[in-house]
């Protein structure tokens, strides 16, 4: 097989990149190790920042988002006895949208179908070759067991944290940074209307809790738990009673309404950056190059921002033989990556309890400052609601 851009991974980064390239007449093939059903129902992120929404709108992918998504002006930050609203629209002139990654992935899949795009699911043994030459290629075994070689002008690794693309960059040509946090998130989905109009981020001596949502009928919650916590020790009753305590059920008349839990998972928390995001004819985008803890709601948005930069760079490279944007891609993308890495680390360390009483006092002081100083609130708002594409 031959194409112009071989894309490894059909997550949000890979599918959106393929869509953006097609808009400028650049052909791509996307290969994916999982089934389409699995990819489209994988419960992950759910908050879109303003620049993500603007990009999806601009490329004809905003219709369902505006029909069933929910626009939020800001978030609540709280600690025992106090809840404060930060209004991002007033503070930073931008809002965020609640729209699940499952929906984003479905929209992208449908758009690729409508364009007659080749998406190859359930491949195995993916390997990336000869990226330091002008003739890179990808090999894999398709769902029928056939060995396939896919030749391309460019290979893009959108294969998440554990895909093979990043390791095609030799160790001596890359540098990595990693921070593992001493806690995990227990995440649940519940068939119950949210007990809040906007997300609640709660600091509590027993650990962080987050009340998020996916729709008017589906709520999403997270609890800080021990790293690698055993999900079997978290019964539904235990989860709801812990959420009630940490989110302040009864505080100023606020009530948490429980409901049937439909999904439960434990998510480790880590920060990771690998640079450069380009090596020869191989480019990396999204989780393939960087991971953030989800406290700042940045993972999906960063993946979108990467491909928002990469698509025009590849179009210029392949159509005009102009390599300037492609040469600048890694440095430009990494500026935003590091900004979001810092913001995600900052939100995480401000809100998760470590068990150290000194840390707790610093966290409470920081929270009070963010909620009472306009400068503090604006800093959080500007980062959370999202910096412009190309920042
Ligand atoms: C378990 C989990 C929960 C998360 N929860 C949240 C959350 O609550 N909030 C939040 O903001 N962010 C969350 N995130 C982060 C967010 O979902 C990611 O940042 C986002 O999915 C990044 O998109 P991506 O396309 O770069 O990578 P991915 O979505 O990971 O897509 C990569 C794709 O590559 C495929 N792939 C892997 N290996 C191969 C191979 N060898 N060959 C072909 N294809 C391959 C994978 O199957 C996958 O479909 C979560 C991430 C994970 C892993």
Contact call for residues 218 and 202 (beta carbons, < 8 A): no
pLDDT, one tens digit per residue, over 134-143 is 999 999 999 9
201 is catalytic: yes
Catalytic residue among 72, 204, 211, 279: 72
Q: What is the average pLDDT across 200-212?
A: 98
DSSP annotation of 144 reads: T
Q: Name the percent of the chain lying above pLDDT 90.
A: 95
Catalytic residue among 76, 183, 222, 384: 384
Ligand 1 atom 15: the closest Cα is on which residue? 299
Q: What is the C-alpha to C-alpha distance for residues 16 and 76, in angstroms, rounded to an integer?
A: 31
Q: What is the average pLDDT across 177-181?
A: 97
Catalytic residue among 222, 294, 329, 352: 294
163 lines ligand 1 (CB under 6 A): yes
12 is catalytic: no
Q: Residue 366 Cα, ligand 1 centroid: separation in angstroms? A: 31
pLDDT at 43: 85
8 lines ligand 1 (CB under 6 A): yes
pLDDT at 90: 97
pLDDT at 67: 96
Mutation pick for ligand 1 pocket among 8, 121, 138, 294 (CB with most ligand atoms within 8 Å): 294
Mutation pick for ligand 1 pocket among 10, 13, 44, 218 (CB with most ligand atoms within 8 Å): 44
> Which tokens go with 258?
């429980």
Report which ligand 1 atom has the smallest distance to the Cα of 47.
Answer: 11
pLDDT at 117: 85
Distance of CA 325 to the CA centre of its chain: 24
266 lines ligand 1 (CB under 6 A): no
> Which tokens go with 263?
């999904």
Looking at 8-115, list the stretches that DSSP marks H as alpha helix, in order from N- to C-terminal side: 12-23, 36-41, 50-58, 63-68, 88-92, 101-114
Q: What is the C-alpha to C-alpha distance for residues 1 and 362, in angstroms, rounded to an integer?
A: 58
Residue 102: which of 45, 179, 161, 152 has the closest Cα?
45
Per-residue b/e over 178-187, b at no fewer than 16 CB within 10 Å? Answer: eeebebbbbb
| Cα atoms found within 13 Å of the Cα of residue 337, Cβ hemisphere only | 27
Q: What is the C-alpha to C-alpha distance for residues 387 and 158, in angstroms, rounded to an integer?
A: 22
User: In this structure, are strands 261-275 and 175-190 parallel, antiparallel, or unpaired?
Assistant: antiparallel
pLDDT at 47: 96
299 lines ligand 1 (CB under 6 A): yes
Q: Residue 112 Cα, ligand 1 centroid: separation in angstroms? A: 19
- DSSP codes, 199-254: -EEE--TT--EEEEESSSS-EEEEEEE-TT--GGG--HHHHHHHHHHHHTTTGGG-
249 is catalytic: no
Average pLDDT, the chain: 96
Per-residue b/e over 10-31, b at no fewer than 16 CB within 10 Å? Answer: bbbbbbbbbbbbbeeebbbbbb
pLDDT at 187: 96
384 is catalytic: yes
pLDDT at 118: 83
pLDDT, one tens digit per residue, over 363-388 is 999 999 999 999 999 999 999 998 87
pLDDT, one tens digit per residue, over 7-30 is 999 999 999 999 999 999 999 999
pLDDT, one tens digit per residue, over 89-113 is 999 999 999 999 999 999 999 999 9
pLDDT at 15: 97
Q: Name the percent of the chain lying above pLDDT 70.
A: 99
pLDDT at 390: 65
Mutation pick for ligand 1 pocket among 11, 168, 293 (CB with most ligand atoms within 8 Å): 11
pLDDT, one tens digit per residue, over 323-376 is 999 999 999 999 999 999 999 999 999 999 999 999 999 999 999 999 999 999
- Over its C-alpha atoms, the chain yields an Rg (Å, rounded) of 21
């Amino acid at each position: 097989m031959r194409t112009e851009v071989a894309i490894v991974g059909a997550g949000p980064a890979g599918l959106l990149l393929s869509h953006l390239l097609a808009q400028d007449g650049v052909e791509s093939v996307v290969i994916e190790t999982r089934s389409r059903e699995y990819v489209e129902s994988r419960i992950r992120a759910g908050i879109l920042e303003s620049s993500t929404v603007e990009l999806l709108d601009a490329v004809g992918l905003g219709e369902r988002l505006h029909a069933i998504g929910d626009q939020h002006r800001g978030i609540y930050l709280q600690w025992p006895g106090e809840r404060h609203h930060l209004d991002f629209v007033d503070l930073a002139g931008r809002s965020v949208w609640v729209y699940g990654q499952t929906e984003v992935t479905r929209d992208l899949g449908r758009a690729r179908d409508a364009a007659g795009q080749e998406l190859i699911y359930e491949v195995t043994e993916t390997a990336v070759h000869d990226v330091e030459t002008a003739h890179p290629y990808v090999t894999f075994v398709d769902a029928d067991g056939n060995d396939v070689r896919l030749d391309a002008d460019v290979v893009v690794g959108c294969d998440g944290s554990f895909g093979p693309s990043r390791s095609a960059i030799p160790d001596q040509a890359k540098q990595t940074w990693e921070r593992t946090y001493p806690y995990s998130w227990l995440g649940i989905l519940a068939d119950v209307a949210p007990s809040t109009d906007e997300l609640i981020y709660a600091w509590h001596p027993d650990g962080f809790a987050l009340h998020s949502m996916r729709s008017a009928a589906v709520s999403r919650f997270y609890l800080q738990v021990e790293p690698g916590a055993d999900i079997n020790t978290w019964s539904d009753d235990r989860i709801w009673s812990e959420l009630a305590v940490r989110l302040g059920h009864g505080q100023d008349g606020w009530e948490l309404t429980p409901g049937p839990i439909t999904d439960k998972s434990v998510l480790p928390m880590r920060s990771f950056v690998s640079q450069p995001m380009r090596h020869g004819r191989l480019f990396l985008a999204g989780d393939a190059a960087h991971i953030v803890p989800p406290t700042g709601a940045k993972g999906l948005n960063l993946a979108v921002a990467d491909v928002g930069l990469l698509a025009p760079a590849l179009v210029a490279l392949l159509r005009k033989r102009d390599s300037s944007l492609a040469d600048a891609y890694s440095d430009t993308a990494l500026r935003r990556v590091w900004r979001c890495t810092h913001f995600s680390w900052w939100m995480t360390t401000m809100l998760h309890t470590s068990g150290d009483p000194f840390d707790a006092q610093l966290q409470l002081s920081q929270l009070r400052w963010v909620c009472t100083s306009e400068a503090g609130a604006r800093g959080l708002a500007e980062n959370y609601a999202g910096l412009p594409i190309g920042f």
